[in-house]
Structure 1
Amino acid sequence: MYADNEKLKDLLKSKIGKAPEKPTKELYQMVIDSDVEIVVRLVIVYSSLTISMVRKNFGEGLGASIKKLNGGKKNDELANKVMGQASDDIKLTSGSLIEISRLPGFVLETKGECLKVKLGMIMQWNEVMGEVISKVESELLCRAYINMYLGDDPLDKDAKDKFGISLISLF
């Protein structure tokens, strides 16, 4: 996770004033509810994934987060917009990136970069394909997405804890 530290610092200092001893639920909630730019970079390490597999698993997690923040109401259509119209046939090789950014204005932008490397006797090439897969303006979607990483049941507890420590260091 990457964030605009100066804007996070301004947000935290305006709402809290002085640093808590450890990250709190309220601290994380402020970040979830804010409009500060945050980028999550997903690096594919498993070589047999396809976009359809990522779309399915990601959609389930994001769908649950939307439901939680939306008073128990599902919105699968909104959750499915994150992976946009990317072809289900795209194979993600090890090292491929999916970068999802919450941009100011509550815009969630998904970019994909497929890295293909062929090694031969002398030949080696890299093909980097960076394209915007989707761009969706929705406060609920942005909050639900960041909630997946900083909420009560984060996808990666260690990443949440490290992010929390970095938040406190901004004070």
Structure 2
Amino acid sequence: MVSLRFPFLFSQPSNHSHPTSHGPFRPVAIAVAVATATVAGVSTYQNRKHPFVENAINFLFSNHSSTHLWGSLSLADNSSDTVVESKTGVSFPSVLGDSRKLLGIGLRRKSVLGLKNIDVYAFGVYADNGDLKKLLSEKYGKLSLSELKENKEFNADLMEADICMTVRLQIIYSKLSIRSVRSAFEESVGTRLRKFGGSDNKELLQSRAKIACLFTSQFKDEYKIPRGSVIDLSKERGHVLRTTIDGKEVGSIESKLLCRSLLDLYIGEDPFDRKAKEDIELNLASLVQK
């Protein structure tokens, strides 16, 4: 049934990686310079009014232009308040609320016509520490890290269990429109809904289409998402997916299928950032074993 309501272990980077601490650093300045150059390059293409390039940018992060370029950062069991994504300088709180711990961070990048890679958004994946221990420790707590890494049920159980989780997106690309976000989720989440939705009979197809429509309709044209905007996609008790933009709740949907489909984009078999998924798996194993 679908209802709609509106209103640790982290590994340290090598000496060649950017530091993960507060305050301005040279690597952050370099990342800003690179981002500026990237935007300038895109602006040059747009000024040429080339229709193919404009269309590619408009649908910036649909799956058709996807690349798996990794921007994740692996960090040690973290006593600091924030963690920095090394390629962009974007920071994430190490804990959301009282108990959702940061498991890993990554970078969603897109290739425009094979000419330029665009940093679209950085993301962080969080999970409730108490839920992890309560629902997964009994089954997986005695397994070694290597055994958990080879266990295909581990991530599936994480997505299926009633564990509170949040995927936080921090927008990097300054020209990203809410329409592009909506189109991207229509495709990527829609693909996962079909993947996990079971039999392809007419009734189930209609049900999955309704779920996808309810979710993407939350991203209304009236919302603006300039660079620095934060979108939280939070899985709450009872498999309710709650969406907020810059702290304002824009809707919530109760659907176990939708929650799993959304999480699959980041920790599933074909994630947006594979290095981020590896970090998340290691941190999950560490928390479950404690």
Q: CA deviation at 1:8?
A: 0.6
CA RMSD of aligned residues (A): 1.6
Gaps of at least 5 residues in structure 1 are: 114-129
Label 1:72 to 1:95 Cα distance change in 2 as closer, same or farther (>3 A).
Answer: farther
2:199 and 2:273 mapped to 1: Cα distance? 23
Q: Letter of the 2:139 partner, please give it.
A: K
Q: Letter of the 1:7 partner, please give it.
A: D
2:199 and 2:274 mapped to 1: Cα distance? 24
TM-score by length of 1: 0.83
Label 1:143 to 1:85 Cα distance change in 2 as closer, same or farther (>3 A).
Answer: closer
Structure-2 residue corresponding to 1:135: 252
Matching residue within 173, 196, 205 for 1:69: 196
Tell me the secondary structure at the aligned position of residue 81 of structure 1: helix
Structure-2 residue corresponding to 1:126: none
Question: Across the two proteins, how many residue pairs are aligned to each other?
Answer: 155
Label 1:83 to 1:132 Cα distance change in 2 as closer, same or farther (>3 A).
Answer: farther
**1:50-89 deviations in whole A, cap 9, x for unaligned?**
1111010012111111111012644232123224344224
1:76 and 1:45 mapped to 2: Cα distance? 30
Q: CA deviation at 1:28?
A: 0.6
Q: CA deviation at 1:39?
A: 0.2
Q: CA deviation at 1:159?
A: 1.8
1:72 and 1:160 mapped to 2: Cα distance? 28
Q: Letter of the 1:164 partner, please give it.
A: E
Q: Letter of the 2:176 partner, please give it.
A: L
Tell me the secondary structure at the aligned position of residue 145 of structure 2: coil
Deviates more, 1:67-76 or 1:146-155: 67-76
Matching residue within 4, 7, 10 for 2:134: 10
Residues 1:100 and 2:233 aligned together = yes
Stretches (4+) displaced over 6 A:
none
Tell me the secondary structure at the aligned position of residue 87 of structure 1: coil
1:142 and 1:87 mapped to 2: Cα distance? 20
Q: Letter of the 2:129 partner, please give it.
A: N
1:109 and 1:63 mapped to 2: Cα distance? 17
Q: How does 1:5-84 map to 2 (within 5 A)?
A: 5-22=129-146, 23=149, 24-71=151-198, 73=200, 74=205, 75-84=208-217
Give me the identity figure in percent: 37
Gaps of at least 5 residues in structure 2 are: 1-124
- Which structure: larger Rg? 2
**Structure (1/2) with the larger strand percentage:** 1
